[in-house]
Amino acid sequence: MGILDFLSGQFIDVIHWTDDTRDTMVWRFEREGHEIKYGAKLTVREGQAAVFVHEGQLADVFTPGLYMLETNNMPVMTSLQHWDHGFKSPFKSEIYFVNTNRHTDLKWGTKNPIMLRDPEFGPIRLRAFGTYTIKVADPARFLTEIVGTDGEFTRDEVSFQIRNIIVQEFSRSIAASGIPVLDMAANTGDVGKLIAQAIDPVIGQYGLSIPELYIENISLPSAVEKALDERSSRGIAGNLDEHMKWKAAEAIGKGGAAGDAMGMGMGAGLGMQMGNMMTGGQGPWGAQPAPQAASQAAPMAPPPPPVEHVWHIARDGETRGPFSKADMGKMAAEGALTRDTHVWTPGQDGWKTADEVAELAQLFTIMPPPPPGG
């Protein structure tokens, strides 16, 4: 290499970074000997920040723009200031490019179920998972607290720690919120905001922020979900005695030959009962006294009581409940429950006004409605 080529290499230096990995958060500009030459051009693109580290200490942070590194007040020592060392400066400087864009589609989830006390079901366990985004809010602090001297730092190296923080704050926030399990699906947005606000001070110490946090699903153990399904089925079935009679009739209709035989047996039994009623209880050979045991028919068991519904009330964007029918009647008498109040009970298809539910509409018929035209 000629002396002109050598001098040209010392005078011309372009410092920039283009990222094509989509997961790199910090990248160190590699230069032989970490020497920053006089007159170098530093290009910092949108979504980036450049951090200068001089002689092991953080010197400056450059925001997006084009910079000429040629003034004496720059926090950089150039080779031209040390001719006596033959262009090999003993002062070393490093430039770290920090990606300040949002890193999206990061996953979080609870490894183990979270224990909490539900106002309706008591102690219960649940799991949750979702997504979040992270962003470098303070490049200097992020470099000193997390990255250190790593030449290429990816988001996978910090996402594990952030997931642990999210799960911890989710457990604390969901336990302190007091939101019933059945109403959590309608409040996932509010819960996500609570968690993000609780996490910000913690990860802010790392120079990071979480602009978005989403809860995709909150699930219960399979046994609890099965019990809820059965409870909803009972609510839909209504009167269990009528439901069982309908199921028995349906089984007879679909049973084929077995169903026909059962139907014939039931028909013969009904025919014998009608014949005894017409003959005054005499058999085909005249009056025959029935045995004492047969004359004492076993009493029929009473049908099970109807399912007692519990009700939830939506007011001012919040859900309250559950309330029994007696509670709803008391609130209707006090004026806290009106015909236009939105109510919901397990098994009901969406929210309805109290006046649309036959069971609750009766609560408002005690007093006559306002006269027309009033």
Of 179, 183, 208, give the one whose Cα is nearest residue 194. 179
What pLDDT is recorded for position 274? 52
Answer yes or no: do 168 and 129 share one domain.
yes
Q: How far apart are CA 196 and CA 178, in angstroms?
A: 18
- Domain of 156, CATH number, reads 3.30.479.30
Is 293 within the bounds of a domain? no
Q: How far apart are CA 79 and CA 88, in angstroms?
A: 6
Mean pLDDT, all residues of the chain? 75
Number of domains observed in the structure of the chain: 3
Task: Please spell the DSSP secondary structure of 263-297, one letter per residue.
Answer: HHHHHHHHHHHHHHHHTTT-BTTB--PPPHHHHSP
The percentage of the chain sitting over the pLDDT mark of 90, rounded to a whole number, equals 10
Q: Per-residue pLDDT tens for 207-223? A: 999 888 888 888 887 87
* DSSP letter, residue 98: E
Answer yes or no: do 111 and 196 share one domain.
yes
What pLDDT is recorded for position 365? 72
Report yes or no: 214 and 132 within 8 Å, Cβ to Cβ.
Answer: yes
Q: How far apart are CA 333 and CA 308, in angstroms?
A: 20
Report yes or no: 29 and 15 within 8 Å, Cβ to Cβ.
Answer: yes
Task: Give the model's confidence band at 371: pLDDT under 50 very low, under 70 low, under 90 confident, else very high.
Answer: low
Q: Is the model more confident about 107 or about 74? A: 107
Task: Give the model's confidence band at 107: pLDDT under 50 very low, under 70 low, under 90 confident, else very high.
Answer: very high
Task: Give the model's confidence band at 39: pLDDT under 50 very low, under 70 low, under 90 confident, else very high.
Answer: low
Domain ranges, residue 35? 9-99
Hey, what are 291's tokens?
């045995």
Answer yes or no: do 131 and 204 share one domain.
yes
Is 123 within the bounds of a domain? yes
